[in-house]
Structure 1
Amino acid sequence: IVLDANGELQCTSCHDAHNNAHGSFLVMSNAGSALCVACHQMGSTSVVAHRECETCHVSHGSPSGPYLLDRETIGETCLNCHDGSHPQATNIASQVALSSNHETFSSVDPLPPASQHASCADCHEPHTMTRMNTQAPLIPGNFGLIDGVSASGSPLLEADNEYEVCFKCHAEDNVVLPWVTRLANVNNTRLEFDPSAISFHPVEIQGRNPDVPSLKPGWSTQDIIRCSDCHSLNGSNPGNRQSGGVHGSTYGPLLAENYSTADYTSESPQAYALCYSCHDRNSILNDESFSGHSRHIVEERTSFATCHDAHGVASLLGSPMNNSHLINFDTSVVLPHADTGELRFRDTGILSGSCTLRCHGEDHSNESYPED
C-alpha cells in the first residue's frame, strides 16, 4: 500500500484506475481482508464472521464516522448479524429488547458520554473473540482481549477476570442507582466484593465462611462465582450462565432468575429462584443455617433482600460485628427502634445473633437467634 508524501491515505493507495484485475479497481485482492490488513494490524479470532473486515466495516461513506462501521452505532452494527437472521450468530436483539437490559444504541463516542449506556464494544473486543468457555473468575472467550479495572481500582489494558470488565462501569464510576436502599451502601461493586469486605459473595476470591449448610450439591465454600452467575439472560443454564450473556432479562436488575425484593412477598420456589439456584430451599426452610429463616420468610413474609445484601458489605461502612453473613438491612422496611433509635444486627457467634430495630411495626430489643 502506497501512502502520499505526508504518510496519508489517498484513493490511489487502494485503487488503480487502470487495472481491474481484482475487482473494484483494487490494487490487490481483498480476499481474507488482505488489503485491509496491509495497513491495519489485526488480532486473532476464532469467530469466522469476524475475520472479514467488511462484515462490520465499509470503506467509504460510513454513517458512524471514524470507526467506518456499516451502521450508525456499534450496537446496530452488531445486531445486523445478531438479530436472529443468522443461525451461527446468537440472537442478541431479542435479549436487549427485554425489560432489564444493557442499553447499547447511543451514538459512537457520544459527547458527553451517555449516562447508563454500554456499547457492545465495552464488553466485547470483536477482533480477538473466541468461543472458548472458561472457569470463574476468568474472562469468557467471547469477551476477547478487552480492557478492565483491577480489584484495586487500577485501569487494565487487558482484563483477566470477568469482574474486571464489570468494574469499568459498576465500581467508582457506577451511575446505576441501588436496587435496594441499604443501611450501609457504597454503590461500588469493587468494594463490595473486595477481599477486605466484611462479608461477600465469592467473586474475587473464595468466601471466608467455611460453614454454609444450604449450598446445593455441586457447590462448595471453595468455589468462586462470576457476576454472570446471577446477572444473565433469564432461563439460561445455571451451570453455564456465560452461554446466556449479560445482555437482557425479564427480571431486574438483569437477573438470571426471579428475586423478589418487595416486603410481604409470599415464599415460593419462584419468588427466590435466583437464590435457590445455589442454595437448597429445603435447607433454608428447615432453618439449618439460621433458626429464624422459616419464621421470617414464610410466616412474616419478609424478603431475603430485607436482611441480606447479595453483593457484599464494604469495610468502608460495615463491621464484622454488625454485617457478617451479608447482613445489611433494607431501610425501606427495617427502621430504627422507636425508643432507642438503634438499628443493628449483632453477631454473637456461630449461627447466632441478635437484632435491635423496628420491623413490620414491632420493636425488637436484643432479640436473639436462636430464640431463647
Structure 2
Amino acid sequence: MPKFALFALLLIVAPWAAFAAPGASMLQGVHGDKTLLPKSCRACHRGMSMSISGEEQACLVCHGDSQGRQEMSRRGYLKSEGAGALRDIGAELRKPYNHPVLATSGVHQANEALPEELVNAARHAECVDCHEPHQLDRDTPFRGLSGKRVGNFTVELTEEYELCYKCHAESANLPSDSSNKHAEFSVTNTSFHPIEGEGRNAYVISLKTPYATRQEKPGDISVISCRDCHGNDDSAGPKGPHGSNYRGLLVNNYEMEDERPESEFAYALCYKCHSRTSILGNESFPYHALHIKGNVATGKLGTTCFSCHDAHGSNRYQFLISFNKDFVQPNADNKLEFNAQGVASRHGSCLLNCHGVEHNPKSY
C-alpha cells in the first residue's frame, strides 16, 4: 500500500496513531501491558465476538463477574495476577441509578461529534464514550479521548470535567429536565463548586480538613472533581460514575425532598466536605438549623439544602444560592430574591414565601 494511502487510513481509523513515533504501538496504556494481557489485541478482538455481542460485552468479559475473568485466564488472554485486581463493573451498571451502558448498545459511532449537534440524536452512554481502550490507564481512564474544542479543532481531553461536559453541557439533545453543567460550573458565575478552578468565596467556615478555599499548604484540596460527588456509593467498590444506589448517581445520600427529618445520612453528600456541627451550629448562617431541622415547638419539619442551594453553581447569587421553585415561591409582592450584604459578612435578606411564611424581607 502506498505510504500516503496508509497515512490517510490511519487518520480515519486512529488519528492519534498517524502521528505516533516510529515503532510505537497503537495499543498503549494498561491494555498494552503484556504482563497483564499476554495476547495483546486478541484479548478483546477475538474473531467476530465484538461484532456479534457488542463492545460492552467484550469489555465485561474482564470487567464483569469473576467467572468471565477466570475463563479469560484459562484461555491465556488474561494473567491470573491481573484478574485479581479487576472489579465487577457490570454489577455497578445494574444499580438503579447508572450510566445506561447496558441499555444502549450499538448507538455510539466512531466519528460522532460531541457535544451532540442534533436535537433528535439518540442519547447514549457506551464504554467507548468515556474510555479509549487503546490508550487508557489506571490514573487517567479518559486518556486518549478527544472532545475538547479549541477554535476549529477538537483536541484530547485533559480534565475529567471536560469528559462529563461532552454529554452534560452544550449537547443539543439535553433532556428537558437537564441543565448545562458547563454553564453551572463556569468560573465567571457569582458562585460555583470548584470544579474548573478555585471558588470565589475565600472563607467557607464549614469546610472540613483537608478541604480549603485556597491551596496554601501541601495536602490542601481547593479544587474537586465530578467524581467526588458522582460515582459508586460503595467506597470499597470500583471507582467511577458507573452506578449508584443513590439518586443522581451520587456517592452519598442527598435528601432532595421537602419536610424530611435532618440526619447525618439525610445530607451525607454535603456533610462529606462540610461539617455538620458547623452547619447546625449556625456558624455560616444564623438560621441554618431552623431551616434544616425545622421548628420543634410547632412540629414543623425543615427543608432540604436543595431548596436554597444549587450544588453546581449560581450565576446570580453568592453561596450557591438558587431557590428551588418547587418549594420556594414569590412573596406577596411577587418577589423571589436574595440580597447579600457584603462579600463575606454572612449577612443578607430574603424576599420570598416558603412553607407559607412570608419573607418580605427576612434579614439576618
- Normalised to the residue count of structure 1, the TM-score between the two structures is 0.74
The correspondence for 2:201, drawn from 177, 193, 209, is 209
Say whether 1:340 aligns with 2:333: yes
Aligned to 2:40: 52
Indicate whether 1:90 and 2:91 are aligned.
Answer: no
1:94 counterpart SS class: helix
Superposed displacement of residue 73, structure 1: 2.4
What letter is aligned with 2:259? Y
Q: Is the 8 A contact 1:148 1:166 kept in 2?
A: no
SS where residue 145 of structure 1 aligns? coil
Contact 1:70 1:77 in 2 (8 A): no
1:73 is matched with which residue? Answer: 54
CA distance in 2, matches of 1:293, 1:90: 41
C-alpha displacement at 1:41, in angstroms? 5.7
Distance apart, 1:115 and its partner CA: 3.5
CA distance in 2: counterparts of 1:324 and 1:160, whole angstroms: 29
Q: Does 1:144 align with 2:143?
A: yes
CA distance in 1, matches of 2:97, 2:209: 30
In the TM superposition, 1:293-308 aligns within 5 A as 293-299=288-294, 300-308=301-309
Q: 1:283 to 1:201 in 2, by over 3 A?
A: same
Higher helix share: 2
Residue of structure 1 aligned with 2:212, choices 217, 220, 232: 220
CA drift at 1:301 = 1.1
Contact in 1 for aligned 2:142/2:157 (Cα 8 Å): no
2:284 aligned residue (289, 304, 326): 289
Deviation at 1:72, TM superposition (A): 3.0
The answer (yes or no) to whether the contact 1:209–1:221 under 8 Å persists in 2 is yes
The structure 2 residue matched to 1:163, chosen from 146, 161, 174, is 161
Q: Give me the whole-angstrom Cα distance separating, in 2, the residues matched to 1:89 and 1:177.
A: 37
Residue 354 of structure 2 corresponds to: 359
Structure 2: which amino acid aligns with 1:343? L
For 1:154 and 1:266, the matched residues in 2 are separated by 51
State the identity as a percent. Answer: 38
| Equivalent position of 1:28 in the other structure | none
CA distance in 2, matches of 1:298, 1:341: 27
Counterpart of 1:274 in 2: which secondary structure?
A: helix
AA at the equivalent of 1:312 = G
Partner of 2:76: none
Is the counterpart of residue 280 in structure 1 residue 275 in structure 2? yes
Residues 1-372 of structure 1 correspond to what in structure 2 (within 5 A)?
42-47=26-31, 48=33, 49=36, 52-59=40-47, 62=48, 69=50, 71-85=52-66, 86=69, 87-105=84-102, 106-109=104-107, 115-132=122-139, 141-149=140-148, 156-173=154-171, 175-178=174-177, 187-222=179-214, 223-236=222-235, 244-299=239-294, 300-314=301-315, 318=316, 323-337=317-331, 339-349=332-342, 350-369=345-364
Cα distance, 1:352 vs. partner?
A: 1.0
Question: What is the CA–CA distance in structure 1 between the aligned matches of 2:26 and 2:324, rounded to whole Å?
Answer: 49
Alpha-carbon distance, 1:153 to partner = 9.3
| Contact persistence 1:56–1:70 (CA under 8 A) | no
Conserved 8 A contact 1:258-1:272: yes
- Please state whether the residue corresponding to 1:148 is helix, strand or coil: strand
Q: Give a deviation string over 1:303-329, Cα, whole Å, max 9, x none.
A: 000000000023xxx3xxxx1110001
Computing the radius of gyration over CA atoms, which structure comes out larger, 1 or 2?
Answer: 1
**Is residue 216–residue 278 contact of structure 1 (8 Å, CA) maintained in 2?**
yes
User: For residues 109 and 93 of structure 1, what CA distance do their matches in structure 2 show?
Assistant: 19
CA pair 115-301 structure 1, distance change in 2 beyond 3 A: farther
TM-score with structure 2 length normalisation? 0.76
Q: Whole-Å Cα distance in 2 between the matches of residues 157 and 128 of structure 1?
A: 15
Q: Which amino acid aligns with 1:342?
A: K
TM-superposition CA deviations, 1:110-162 (whole Å, max 9, x none): 69986442111111111112123xxxxxxxx2222112336x89864211100
Q: CA deviation digits over 1:40-87, x for unaligned, max 9? A: 96141134456711221134xx36xxxxx2553222221122112133
Are the aligned partners of 1:343 and 1:356 in contact in 2 as well (CA < 8 Å)? yes
Number of corresponding residues: 301
Instruction: Calculate the aligned-residue CA RMSD, in Å.
Output: 2.8
Identify if the C-alpha distance between structure 1 residues 162 and 358 changes in structure 2 by more than 3 Å, giving closer, same or farther.
same
